Amino acid sequence: MPIVCEPTLSAGQLIVSIGGQVRGAESLGAAAKLLDNDPSETLVVIGPELEASEALAFTAHVRLARPAVGVVLARDFVDVALLSRALQAGVREVVLADDPAALTAACRRSREVSRRLAAASADNALAAPDGQIVTVFAAKGGCGKTTLAVNLGVALARGTGRRVCIIDLDLAFGDVAVSMQVDPARTIVDALPMAGHLDVTGAASLLTRYRPGLEMLLAPVAPGDAEKVPPALTRELLTVLRGMFDYVVVDTPAQFSEHVLTAMDVSNHHVLLTTPDVPAVKNLRITLDMLDLLSYPREIRSVVLNRSDSRVGLTLEDVERVVRCPIVAQVPSSRAVPISINTGNPITLASSGHPVSQAITRFAEQRLLTAPGAAATPLSRPRRRRRSA
């Protein structure tokens, strides 16, 4: 039963908002004793009459002692400073005390995060190795990079029992949320207060669930937020998420930003996408040269030709001759792809037998999925040469 910590009768309103059976505690000390006596409890709601500093100190302690326990803080007034301090302490949600709907939703989300953490802890108890990071990149926009990343994520998760996370690292113009028609409650920018001490609990609170086995960490939606995210936070997020998932699929912008290079540094596989047109092929050739210059190993690369059946004057042989690299997968063009994007239903889900779905699934099976029981065996880590400032 959830614990409501509030010293006065105003706790009654909080209890009604939470619903079901609830235990009351008039002090944080009493709430701590209830937690100690019930190892299965995963939710504590702290009311507005308790001092914020005491509530945050309690949360910071609980976060270390019981990571699966979520704390929801109800306040009479919420400002940016409080939100920042609360996130640093590990509070899952901060809501207005007089907004029952918001409190109910916050408690529901916190329980879901706790459920996921419990599942992750159970899996980690089996001593599974770290998950694989797959970075999808194209140096030219419009090649279908986001579509491939999303459908790769679906293909890796569907029917395999593996846990997959898709990260939208196109921080300024990310399209993963739009392509899947989800409304992000949290995005990468919400990780900023946790920078330097991000853990599984904090990372789980940032995720948006799409379907069982498939989660997403979405790009910021507000103008200017992209510039707030430092590359070090990207590395920290990837490090934590690879311990939570079997596969982390990274969608990227069409440029070699520090965030992209950070993702490539820790990736097990680079999926390089092109289309059969001269600008895209030229950019792929430059990309391959750049990866060689930065000393990324060639054996972790896969070049994929999208819209491979387009009759635009370039053949598969033409592309391979220019880029001097074999094409390991060909994805045909189809009107069904933009339709699937417009409906928010990835084509690998909407029509698993479609030629596009089959091509992506076959690529995932042949190049990314490993033998059962070894799904997350990491490849050798690429290392970049130092670049002058």
C-beta of residue 74 within 8 angstroms of C-beta of residue 95: yes
Q: Bridge-partner residues for 93, per DSSP?
A: 72
- Sheet strand arrangement including 132-137: 208-211, 214-217, 164-168, 247-251, 132-137, 269-274, 301-306, 329-331
Quote the CA–CA distance of 131 and 269 in Å, as a whole number: 12
- Sheet strand arrangement including 43-46: 23-25, 3-5, 43-46, 70-75, 93-96
Q: What is the pLDDT of residue 166?
A: 97
DSSP secondary structure, 2-31, as one string = -EEE-SSTTHHHHHHHH-SS-EEESSHHHH
Q: Are residues 214 and 330 in the same domain?
A: yes
Residue 197 placed within a domain: yes
Of 99, 124, 149, at which residue does a domain stop?
A: 124
Q: Are residues 204 and 345 in the same domain?
A: yes
32-55 pLDDT, tens digit each: 999 888 888 889 999 898 999 999
Residue 388 placed within a domain: no
Of 72, 101, 124, at which residue does a domain stop?
A: 124
Of 74, 93, 124, at which residue does a domain stop?
A: 124
Say how far residue 168 (Cα) sits from the centre of its chain.
7
98-113 pLDDT, tens digit each: 888 888 888 888 888 8
Residue 389 placed within a domain: no
Q: What is the pLDDT of residue 304?
A: 94
| Amino acid, single-letter form, for residue 220 | P
Q: Please, what sign has the CA dihedral across residues 132, 109, 170, 274? A: positive
Q: Are residues 90 and 186 in the same domain?
A: no
105-161 pLDDT, tens digit each: 888 888 888 887 776 665 554 444 579 999 999 988 889 999 999 999 999 998 777
CATH of the domain at 95: 3.40.50.2300
CATH of the domain at 290: 3.40.50.300
User: Which residue range forms the structural domain that includes residue 147?
Assistant: 132-368
Q: Are residues 97 and 183 in the same domain?
A: no
User: How many domains are there within the chain?
Assistant: 2
Pairing mode, if any, of strands 214-217 and 208-211? antiparallel
Q: Are residues 348 and 207 in the same domain?
A: yes
DSSP secondary structure, 248-306, as one string = EEEE--SS--HHHHHHHHT-SEEEEEE-SSHHHHHHHHHHHHHHHHTT--GGGEEEEEE
Q: Are residues 258 and 351 in the same domain?
A: yes
Q: Confidence class of residue 287 from pLDDT cuts 50, 70 and 90?
A: very high
